[in-house]
Amino acid sequence: MKYLTVNTHKEYSSSLDIVSSEVHYSSTSFMANISQILVSIDNAIVNNILGNYLKVNEIKDLIDVRKLTALLIWLKYVIGLKIIDVTIFENPPFIEIDIDECGWEEWDIIARSVKSELINESLEDVAERVAIVCPKALRS
């Protein structure tokens, strides 16, 4: 069984366990949230992290690049997801974050949990512009 930790509460006062047949999701009070990561991000970090996937200048009018970078850091280093690609789509304008090694059920839980976390942290602008996608699930 793989373990994926998802922080679902800003106050860190309670926990939520969502169990599927393959992945155990739980929140913990020791995790950094997206907003905590955001306060420590500067342009060098944005260019270093986001530059691995996209040209920063091409997306800065679509989304706050610092917030997107914080989300990528959170997904990769706090949650432990493997990000395989980040793609910009122009019509309608959104950012697709492709993650590896998940099935339909896992993808649904991950996508909903990430959207919920973004909204809980008052990052609705990012939640509206980002889609979490699992290409492996789409191929199955």
Q: Which two tokens stand for residue 15?
A: 């926990």
Q: What is the pLDDT along the chain (140 residues), one digit of tens a residue?
A: 333 343 333 332 222 232 232 333 344 444 789 999 999 999 999 999 999 999 988 898 899 999 999 999 999 999 999 999 999 998 889 999 999 988 999 999 999 999 999 999 999 999 999 999 999 988 87
pLDDT, residue 9, reads 35
Angstrom distance (rounded) from CA 68 to CA 101: 22
Contact between residue 50 and residue 68 where contact means Cβ atoms under 8 Å apart:
yes
- 97 three-state secondary structure: strand
pLDDT, residue 140, reads 77
pLDDT, residue 65, reads 95
